[in-house]
């Protein structure tokens, strides 16, 4: 259980939770082990609405680029994945495949298990979902910066290239 709690403490989803609330949440997670190169999640897989938090190792996030896959990001411990389907999005909206890099440990939270807290601990659900939104917002900010840098490079603007 220590791996789960330690990992949760490095994640955005527990920033607003007390120690007692983190323990309640920790009881819902399952630890999954992946060998190097294994697929953790991929586009189009129905009934896959888990939130993943990387506990140990790295995860490559890849998207189809023509006939090949291109790595767009590498997740580090504490990072979230699977937020779209966890928050209720369709699996068809997912475009990235997650691959383990080396031996990887991932915390997995099934949405149905998480939703059992709605009646008994609604503030935990609320605060965790605020953490998910903060994580998504940080991804959007990072992508905006990268897009701006690429635009500056292509158009040779702002005297930086």
CATH number at residue 78: 2.60.120.10
Which domain covers residue 20, as residue numbers?
Answer: 2-155
pLDDT one-digit tens code per residue, 39-95: 999 887 765 789 999 999 999 999 988 889 999 999 999 999 989 889 887 766 678
Q: How far is CA 126 from the centre of its chain?
A: 18
- Cα separation, 31 vs 1, in Å, equals 9
Total count of domains within the chain: 1
Given a contact cutoff of 8 angstroms between Cβ atoms, the answer to whether 11 and 128 are in contact is no
How far, in Å, are 82, 94, 105 from residue 43 at the CA level?
A: 10, 5, 21
Say how many C-beta atoms besides its own lie within 10 A of residue 112's C-beta.
10
User: What pTM does this model have?
Assistant: 0.86
Q: Do residues 61 and 73 make contact, with C-beta atoms less than 8 angstroms apart?
A: yes
In a domain? residue 151 = yes
Does residue 160 lie in a domain region?
Answer: no
Answer whether residue 161 is part of any domain: no
Give residue-wise pLDDT tens across range 105-143: 999 999 999 999 999 999 999 999 999 999 988 888 888
Is 147 contained in some domain?
Answer: yes
Looking at residue 159, its pLDDT comes to 61
pLDDT at 151 > cutoff 70: yes
Assess whether pLDDT exceeds 70 at residue 1: no
In a domain, 121, yes or no: yes
Q: Is residue 90 in a domain? A: yes
């Amino acid at each position: 259980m220590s791996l789960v709690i330690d990992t949760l403490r490095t994640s955005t989803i527990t920033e607003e939770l007390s120690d007692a609330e983190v323990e309640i949440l920790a009881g819902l997670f399952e630890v999954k082990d992946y060998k190097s190169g294994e697929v953790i999640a991929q586009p189009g897989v129905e009934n896959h609405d888990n939130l993943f938090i990387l506990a140990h190792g790295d995860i490559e996030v890849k998207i189809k680029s023509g006939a090949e896959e291109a790595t767009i990001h590498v997740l580090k411990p504490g990072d979230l994945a699977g937020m779209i389907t966890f928050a209720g999005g369709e699996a068809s909206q997912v475009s990235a495949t997650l691959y383990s890099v080396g031996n990887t440990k991932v915390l997995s939270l099934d949405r149905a298990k998480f939703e059992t807290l709605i009646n008994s601990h609604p503030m935990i659900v609320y605060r965790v979902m605020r953490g998910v939104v903060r994580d998504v917002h940080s991804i959007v900010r990072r992508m905006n910066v990268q897009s701006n840098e690429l635009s500056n490079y292509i158009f040779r603007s702002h005297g930086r290239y």
